[in-house]
Structure 1
Amino acid sequence: MGYFRIRTLTPVHIGMGDDFVPTQYVIDGGKLYLFDEFTFYRSLSETERKAFANIAGEGIYALKRFYRNRLDLAREIAYQVLPVDGEISKRYETQFNRDGSLNNNRLEIQRTATIEGASLPYLPGSSLKGVIDTSLAIYPQEIRDNAVRQNLQVSDFVSAEAQTWCGKAYRIHKFKDKPGKGIPIMVEAIEPSSIFVGEIGSVKKGESDRIFSMEEILEALDTYAKHSGGHEYRKYRSELEAGEYLFRMGRFSGIDFTCVSRCKPAVTHTVIDDHGKKGQPFGWVAISMIDAETYWTHLRRYEEKLEERLAKRSAIVQRLESAEKKRKEEEHRKIEQQQEEERKKAEEEARIAAMSPFDRKLHELVTTHPNKNETVDIILFSTLKRGELDEFRCQALRRIKKEMQEHGKWIEKSKKPEKDKKYKRTMEMIKMLEECEG
């Protein structure tokens, strides 16, 4: 197996059959924040979860509004942040068309091939192997069996530094200054100048003895690109570094790079605006052989980045689980507190139910009195004066006497009777009690 480096010269998109959907991201300030939907839901409060459930069936724009209101949360739990071009940001913010009708754009963004869980872009070995098969003319249409292809081994090409962004892919005419047919689509693309490393080898695996040298593979890739690439080949050939060979791979490379015979030449091709550079073609890359030390240096950096990304996802989950645990503990505490309050309430209701009619009336007077510091004797005395305790008059008078005695207010003798309020109140009470003795 030989060690190789691939350097992207233009944006690259490797289709993986997966999309960014607007229930998994928010766009703010020219950036897409990608998050896990379940993590977002679990991070909501109980009230927010109910609100989320209520609007879940109202359509994508209702969900977008909800996410927008919790932008802080979406950004906090985002495990990937991508730049997006202005066209995508505008489409994300636009809810209605010019005629007032609802914009039905569902805002899916087609992802490029990515290491699951780490959101690191990579070049699948199967994609690269397809290009090499075509360049060497060993694709199934040209041979009767698969034995030759089995001798070609291609690993995935990985990167620690590669970045992606989201833009609008659209078709234009190759030879005229006018747009091509077709609806533009939103895609994630690998940035130019990204570096990937991997292994390519040719060893006997099956019945065929056909083995390819590394130089033969590189020459075949470059020759095929020259044959199919036209003026674009000449343009990007001038950007090669020493030891590099030019070829094209990935989605949107066009029919010229997927068909070798009896193909009608394409008159339109798909391009993307790359950070101000209009109409950039997809898939032009440079490949070169590297030594083992360079390969393993890149691979170690990739493994460190992979571990870092996975640790970030794990940290988000752990933080969420910790918050979830605290939330459940708080809910449990509230339930216990509520149960304790209900128990005390039941006990109090039972205690009140067991009281005599007078004691229940007294309890009501005390608990509803505006001055919580007022004494029982004063509350009862003022209530009697208002004529509101006639049915319990004698019981109330005896209770007043008892309260006054216990608190040192019952004074039957005084040196200054004219000025002694307690003495006067005691005399008044004695007179009133005489009515109960008669």
Structure 2
Amino acid sequence: MTTQVRNDRRTLAISTLSPLHIGCGEVYEPSGFVIHAGLLHVLEPADLSLALSDAEHKRLAALAEQREPVGAIQRFFRDSAARFADLSRQQVMVAEALAREYAEKAGRPTQRDPSGEATYNSFQLARTAFRPVDGTPYLPGSSLKGSIRTAWLNHLNAALPLNSAEKADKRRASQNLEQRLLKYAAGKFENDPFRKLALADAHPAEESTPPPTRVLYAISKKKRPPRADERPSPELKVFLETIPEALPAAFLGEMRFAPGATILWDALCDACNGFYRPQLEEELDHPVLSQRLDHQWRQMISHLLGEELGDLIKARQGFLLRVGRHSGAESVTLGGVRSIKILGARVDGKQQFDFRANSTEKRYASLTRAGDHGLLPFGWLWVDACDAPHRHLSDAVRQRLAAHSRPLREAHQERLLLLEEKAERRAAAAAVLASRKRTEEAAARAEVEARQAHARALAEMSPNRRRVEEFIADFAARAEQLRGNKENANAVCHNAARTLARDAVAWTHEERMAVADAIEQWLPKVVKVELKDERKKLKLSALRAP
């Protein structure tokens, strides 16, 4: 893959270093998915509606009217997970522990209040930013730019404290500091230097396999060793869909510098790497929490920072970023002015808190609720705009990332192929059904048209001719009823033929011919008679005479 480099534009290849979740306000609702065989299977309402029987539609509607509908509806979908999973057009990896929790706890109350009202685990799974058209994850340019802006402001501030005026106006301190550092007056946003720096949304390359996503636990860990009598930190209530770690060049974006831009590439690289690299290294070397990190991941990132990635940083070929939810308070605040609200114990019913320069907890992506090991920090990216002389370093970084994530990516690719095959079978079946429906509709239209034409023809006929047509219709219907059998002679149909032949004697020649033809054609199909004898008895030859 080649990277365009121009003075005013750089194409960016963005790799994930750790799990990433960028909130978009959307969730996987419990009635919109099932978890089966370690995967979250997304259900399209139209597919689900077609798959449900009338009885199931009625049952689901009744469940929604119950006093506690949440649990009942969760059980309905959980109990049919294997069947509904086959309807899915999109699948998301799920932590094994979460899949077990869904199977065991979905539809079961977690607690009841004194009135008996039940509380359920909602199993609302927060989605990462995605394209509505196909569900593919992407990186919003606004998220990338926000992280760059924080690093640039930190660079300009140089770890200095607020000035006296900013300290005096605490409510507007952050806004006033930003205006001072970027040198624009209040309300003069057109003078903000970041208006001349544009970042496009970063999407997977066209024709490439879209990146997988995975639902993980988000858990909190204190930075200090736990005391013997200490209760565990409260768990986060919302599970997160994440873009997994170690996806090389998973997203392509573009950075554009407008004429007159004062924030340029080299300085931007220095600012981002100067802000984020120490934080990443602190993650890797933390005296308490680093031992709980995924060992292979920690080893890989440490090696990259000491080798190829470190060389690319030094050559200003790209920069580290931390974006998305749970990036940590230190990553979204400036050194020197950092003031993080730390909650304490409740005293007399009131929440106590103070402000510190560093947080007391970190939040991690975990495959388990307990999170005793195998943890990964959220939100780390490598943004690459490498030139040709440094391509070998960039390739080496991508190869190491690819080796780490190969099992995950290959499993994802296999799932996509199976989904594609299923979609092809579904499309073929739908085409057959559509063709059958068109044929049936055409036949129905033809039948209607034939009946209408027959009705018009009857209306134009004489009463005698209409009587002949009624005779034919009655005998045709009776033949259909008999299914190859025949009535005995001298029964209803035989007598009807005799009556028609007798009455037709005085009719016009054309009408008599029609009677003779109708009797000769239909009588032997319905009644056990010898046609030769009946011709004589009913005097069909006389009816045919001019």
Query: When the two structures are superposed, what TM-score results if normalisation uses the length of structure 2?
Result: 0.52
Deviations 1:118-140 (A, max 9, x none): 22222211111001101011896
Q: Residue 231 of structure 1 aligns to which amino acid in structure 2?
A: E
Deviations 1:142-174 (A, max 9, x none): 126432111212122223453211111121212
Deviations 1:250-278 (A, max 9, x none): 11001111111231221112212259963
Cα pair distance change 1:376/1:336, threshold 3 Å: farther
Q: Residue 150 of structure 1 aligns to which amino acid in structure 2?
A: R
Asked if 1:91 is matched to 2:146, the reply is no
- Within the candidate set 288, 310, 334, 2:384 is matched to 288
Asked if 1:143 is matched to 2:179, the reply is yes
8 Å CA contact retained: 1:52, 1:66: no
Q: Residue 76 of structure 2 aligns to which amino acid in structure 1?
A: R
Residue aligned with 2:53, SS: helix
Which residue number in structure 1 is paired with residue 517 of structure 2?
A: none
Deviations 1:330-377 (A, max 9, x none): 8869989999xxxxxxxxxxx9xx9xxxxxxxxxxxxx99xx779568
Cα pair distance change 1:8/1:104, threshold 3 Å: same
Q: Residue 386 of structure 2 aligns to which amino acid in structure 1?
A: I
Cα pair distance change 1:330/1:198, threshold 3 Å: same
Q: Rg: which structure is higher? A: 1
Which residue number in structure 2 is paired with residue 279 of structure 1?
A: 375
Asked if 1:157 is matched to 2:209, the reply is no
Q: CA deviation at 1:224?
A: 0.9
Cα pair distance change 1:48/1:247, threshold 3 Å: same
Gaps of 5+ in 1: 299-304, 340-350, 355-367, 379-402, 408-438
Gaps of 5+ in 2: 1-8, 65-69, 157-173, 286-297, 314-318, 340-355, 392-397, 399-412, 449-466, 471-480, 492-526, 532-546
Cα pair distance change 1:216/1:319, threshold 3 Å: farther
Which residue number in structure 1 is paired with residue 269 of structure 2?
A: 218
Q: Distance in 2 between matches of 1:228 and 1:95?
A: 41
Which residue number in structure 2 is paired with residue 266 of structure 1?
A: 359
Single out whichever of 267-276 and 181-190 deviates more from structure 2.
267-276
Q: Distance in 1 between matches of 2:442 and 2:75?
A: 34
RMSD over aligned Cα atoms: 5.0
Pairwise mapping of residues 26-425 of structure 1 onto structure 2 (< 5 A)? 26-41=34-49, 43-44=50-51, 48-49=53-54, 51-59=56-64, 60=70, 61-62=72-73, 65=76, 68-69=79-80, 71-72=82-83, 74-78=85-89, 80-93=90-103, 94-97=106-109, 104-137=120-153, 141-143=177-179, 145=184, 146=189, 147-159=192-204, 160-161=208-209, 162-177=211-226, 179-195=232-248, 196-204=251-259, 210-212=262-264, 214-226=265-277, 228-229=279-280, 231-232=282-283, 236-240=301-305, 242=308, 243-244=312-313, 245-260=319-334, 261-263=337-339, 264=356, 265-274=358-367, 278-291=374-387, 322=431, 325=434, 375=488
8 Å CA contact retained: 2:35, 2:78: no
Residue aligned with 1:142, SS: helix
Deviations 1:9-40 (A, max 9, x none): 21111111111112222211001111321233
8 Å CA contact retained: 2:110, 2:118: no
Cα pair distance change 1:63/1:10, threshold 3 Å: closer
Which residue number in structure 1 is paired with residue 3 of structure 2?
A: none
Single out whichever of 176-185 and 121-130 deviates more from structure 2.
176-185
Residue aligned with 1:175, SS: coil
Q: CA deviation at 1:237?
A: 4.9
8 Å CA contact retained: 1:26, 1:68: no
Single out whichever of 173-182 and 62-71 deviates more from structure 2.
62-71
Pairwise mapping of residues 10-21 of structure 1 onto structure 2 (< 5 A)? 10-21=18-29
User: How many correspondences in the alignment?
Assistant: 355
Cα pair distance change 1:40/1:97, threshold 3 Å: closer
Q: Distance in 2 between matches of 1:226 and 1:109?
A: 31
8 Å CA contact retained: 1:3, 1:199: yes
Q: Distance in 1 between matches of 2:325 and 2:61?
A: 34
8 Å CA contact retained: 1:273, 1:279: yes
Q: Residue 95 of structure 1 aligns to which amino acid in structure 2?
A: G
Q: CA deviation at 1:75?
A: 2.3
Query: When the two structures are superposed, what TM-score results if normalisation uses the length of structure 1?
Result: 0.63
8 Å CA contact retained: 2:75, 2:107: no
Q: Residue 29 of structure 2 aligns to which amino acid in structure 1?
A: V
Identity of aligned residues (%): 22
Q: Residue 55 of structure 1 aligns to which amino acid in structure 2?
A: L
Q: Distance in 2 between matches of 1:54 and 1:153?
A: 52
Q: Distance in 2 between matches of 1:66 and 1:337?
A: 43
Deviations 1:278-311 (A, max 9, x none): 32211122233224898xxx9xxxxxx9xx99x9
8 Å CA contact retained: 1:97, 1:103: yes
8 Å CA contact retained: 1:3, 1:289: yes
Which residue number in structure 1 is paired with residue 508 of structure 2?
A: none
8 Å CA contact retained: 1:148, 1:210: yes
